[in-house]
Amino acid sequence: MSKVSGVKGMNDILPGDVEVWQHVERTARELFGRFGYGEVRTPMVEDTALFVRSVGETTDIVGKEMYTFEDKGGRSLSLRPEGTAPAARAYIEHSILNQEPITRWFYMGPMFRYERMKTGRYRQFHQIGAEGYGSKEPAQDVEMMDMVVQLLQKLGLTDVSLNINSLGDDACRPGYQNRLVEYLRAHSSELCADCQVRLEKNPLRVLDCKNERCQQIANAAPNITESLCEPCRAHFAEVQRKLDVLGIKYVVNSRIMRGLDYYTRTTFEFIASHPALGTASTVGGGGRYDKLVKSLGGPDVPAVGFGLGLDRLCLLLKESGQQFSPPVDLFIAAADEGSADVAFGLVSRMRREGLRVEFDTRGGSLKSQMKRADKTGARFTLVLGQNERESGQAQLKPMAGGDAIPVRLEDLASTVREALARPSAPPAS
């Protein structure tokens, strides 16, 4: 019988790696809560129309990358390719504006795009994101960026730069788009086939293209910040001023467009320079989308948000050499068959006491159990045999070396905690 394999681009996350993921998720939850953001969880499947209306029919995401299917009721559904549109849908559907004028949410979970894969870019990928509804002020934009900056700092990822831009709004973007089209038409024969279509349907998307020649053309295109109307110019200037107030370093990068149609005014990206990511150097980004909620049939509510690539953050953390797997406190071995049940009961009791305890449920020779203890990296081991059972006394052995510690079995939990607290008990290497 042939072997069944996982779907290409949809990866298993196994012990040894998952602890890194849990660390990032735990850190983000604690930090975002400190900012006053509550967690929202939306379904992985949504009505396809949600993404067509929000992300944009002419984007690569909708045109090429979505996993779309017809369900048994004949409805067109799609696996979510990003997190903002589902959050906006939930915001509208549950009439959140009627409950509170300012809403701050964050989310974590898998997204799906049929993309060309490379390091840090997969077909099932994971995002941590946040959305803020109800404030049109630049301070809300900067709060979002500050939240990401603080998360990166808490994770120890210092080699990531913040790039910002403004896309203008309905008042000034059409004028810029006309100038951009005029420029691109002069180079249309040099554009890739996809960009020749984009030039006619959505010319701003040409600036997003990953084709090397298209990027060269885009780099010489008119600068959008030079076309901003006065309100957009003032908004962008205030964003920069507030970043300066917080001491957050940034680069104004007029090529930051993002790949989604719903953005207005502020956009930003966090770009890492670590070679582990290859060309997939953007670890996250976002921006303001003041028209999205209304365009989906909701109230006229301004909003801003971001998404971070959890896969890429975890790749960077693994390269940092940090340790995330919590050490095993104690390994208990049964020296003989008559001690197996007593040892098993002691293991259960120690776990109830809050200790991380390993035990080989297969039993076996004492030698094989001690090999297992070495493999777990346990800080201490305790061997339970007939003498220990009858006397209620045992020896707590430090696996990193040093003298054994006499211990009464009834005091085992407190003795292990005291031993773990001593500087003389380092983790086993």
Residues annotated in the binding site, as ranges? 82-84, 113, 127, 131, 258, 262-263
CA separation, residue 392 to residues 319, 363, 384, 418 (Å):
46, 21, 10, 19
Known binding site for L-histidine: residues? 82-84, 113, 127, 131, 258, 262-263
Instruction: Give the whole-angstrom CA distance, residue 134 versus residue 98.
Output: 11
* C-alpha count within 13 angstroms, C-beta hemisphere, residue 129: 29
How many CB atoms sit inside 10 A of residue 397's CB?
Answer: 18
> Look-up: residue for tokens 């809560």?
33
With vertex at residue 60, the alpha carbon angle to CA 6 and CA 148, rounded to the nearest 5 degrees, is 80
Nearest partner of 263 among 242, 237, 283, 290, judged by Cα? 290
What SS3 state is found at 156? coil
Residues in the chain: 429
Tokens of 221: 């295109």
Cα dist. 412→336, 343, 366, 387 in Å?
A: 20, 12, 20, 16
Please tell me the distance from the alpha carbon of residue 360 to that of residue 156, in angstroms, as a whole number: 36
